[in-house]
Structure 1
């Protein structure tokens, strides 16, 4: 044994523990932005993107109203005129707004429909023939809705089962439907003699035109269908990634047919509303409605590539265009100037979407690289 006294080892200081990383949400998808904690955490995350965009659109509307008040202060100082002007804007936006609801579903589902204006014309002409009017208002409404759904089904079948590009299929339908409407009407204006149908445009409920209530009902139904049903979730899935949707068990082709049928149904409703406003129908009615509907959907935040969009945003887009038209009208500006301004707004909206999509793509790429 050694005579050296036993040595005691001094206790070593405990190593500093690494800083604890914040907890990871197991339900979060790769690349998904995590919102900060707090009551308004949803506002800063992906869930609040639609609300932020809609708030920006409301800001645009307020700016247009301010411009109108500055340029025509003599009119905006009259409260009665202001209220009547608001109702005029909503009434002007009602028909295009109904068409835009159906268009929004189609675009979110990854398609496009260039034939909506022609479908409105065909449904309007068909429901105002002498034979159809003999069945009364119910017969006219049934005819318009049936024609709209039938033409939409043809579009959907050609695209889903015939594998035609939506642009080509609906462009061909645009020409064919206009031609059929001209053939049925003999290139003449058909007058609606039904007082019930004609009264839709002149009837007010609680001081608000009935056309505005119809628009509100269609928008509410579209919002519920998109946000609170399986059909809406499948629409977003099909538009975002059709192959992934197919592997998940969704019948993509059948769903595509239903989307175009829904667009045709909205066109049938719009045909009744437009016929009531003009008390007549002709093959040239609803001209360029397809461009107005697509533009309103884009302004409202619907991606042309599909997979994202909101009904409320599309409605705000329609109201913005109607407000611009009204603003130009009260200032005595030409229609050509209106079209140039609308074209600039559409280009700006698409550029903003591209910048946002590119930023999101770069964010996801950086996230995957960091994870790897």
Structure 2
């Protein structure tokens, strides 16, 4: 009897890399290319410590980008994170400051430090709950809602600080978390926490039903609802998740600088949005990844660091950021269209 041979699949039927993986690799390649180009243009740019600094100096924006990415994938915006950073930091200081009489900026509620942090985080998540209420319950566009709550959060912080900052009469342990170094190195706890959040986010995105549901909602919200998915509750959890991350960032920054400052986190919401878009996250939802966002953050960090090394004014840095975002979106759209032609 003649042995049967299994036919090989035709070339067009073989498994192909997904568009999402393709864009992620493209963004990673752009990040590496930009770094090499900057190394040629900027003296002493190509150094190991500078590579590390590109991540460690941007831990706050990368952390915020995780929550913003999940919401963008679901078809929603979160522009409130910068205001939440300011609010949670100011609240953590105000709650921890000793009670009594005296200078209004030196008197707080005198709560035990762990309780002060918990209450500050609860205040941050209250803004996330407010976002979800107006987006889910009342159907107001998320970009409008989160712009409003961003101003509300920052306004509350300004009221508490009287337009200044609170940095006195704090317990000795207040600055511990923000300045804690890990593993006997100069790497701070905040950077390690960012790395853990990234790994958890990637696991949720790739391996858990929660991540798949986020993509389904962003791709076709009507079909997701008809399939039995509680879209409103899912989006609510995403807003609570994003606000919790922003609250933690604000608390750590307040601890690092031992002060509550109402202008802290200004424009961080736009940087978080920019790195998500640079990383290939679709502004209309249903497409993108946390890893892509991370490489988008590296692109933005390289552009900013190179501009600083070339002694360009902050105005030019804004222009370079805008050009980088525009070129990245155009290149990604062109590459996808050419690939799927």
**TM-score past 0.5 threshold:** yes
Give the direction of change, closer, same or farther, for the CA distance of 1:45–1:72 in structure 2 (3 Å limit). closer
* Cα shift readout 1:236-260 (whole Å, capped 9, x = no counterpart): 1111111100010001111111111
Q: Of residues 125, 142, 154 in structure 1, which corresponds to 2:118?
A: 142
Does the aligned pair in 2 maintain the 1:203–1:209 contact within 8 Å? yes
Equivalent position of 2:79 in the other structure = 114
Give the drift of 1:147: 1.6
**Higher mean C-alpha deviation, range 320-329 or range 288-297:** 320-329
Structure 2 Cα separation of the partners of residues 345 and 133 of structure 1: 45
Give the direction of change, closer, same or farther, for the CA distance of 1:227–1:186 in structure 2 (3 Å limit). same
Q: Of residues 321, 324, 332 in structure 2, which corresponds to 1:345?
A: 324
Does the aligned pair in 1 maintain the 2:280–2:329 contact within 8 Å? no
Whether 1:226 aligns to 2:214 is no
Helix, strand or coil for the counterpart of 1:135? coil
Structure 1 Cα separation of the partners of residues 78 and 89 of structure 2: 18
Equivalent position of 2:89 in the other structure = 124
From the CA coordinates, give the structure whose radius of gyration is larger.
1
How many residues are aligned here? Answer: 321
TM-score (normalizing by structure 1): 0.79
Does the aligned pair in 2 maintain the 1:133–1:194 contact within 8 Å? no
Over aligned residue pairs, what C-alpha RMSD do you find? 2.6
Q: Of residues 177, 181, 199 in structure 1, which corresponds to 2:153?
A: 177
Equivalent position of 1:188 in the other structure = 164
Q: Of residues 15, 28, 53 in structure 2, which corresponds to 1:58?
A: 28
Give the direction of change, closer, same or farther, for the CA distance of 1:195–1:94 in structure 2 (3 Å limit). farther
Structure 1 Cα separation of the partners of residues 171 and 295 of structure 2: 33
Does the aligned pair in 2 maintain the 1:133–1:139 contact within 8 Å? no
Does the aligned pair in 2 maintain the 1:299–1:346 contact within 8 Å? yes
* Cα shift readout 1:56-113 (whole Å, capped 9, x = no counterpart): 233223223323432344x357xxxx34333332222100111110000110111011
Give the drift of 1:354: 4.3
Does the aligned pair in 1 maintain the 2:178–2:255 contact within 8 Å? yes
Give the direction of change, closer, same or farther, for the CA distance of 1:339–1:194 in structure 2 (3 Å limit). farther
1:253-272 matches, within 5 Å, as: 253-272=232-251
Does the aligned pair in 2 maintain the 1:148–1:265 contact within 8 Å? yes
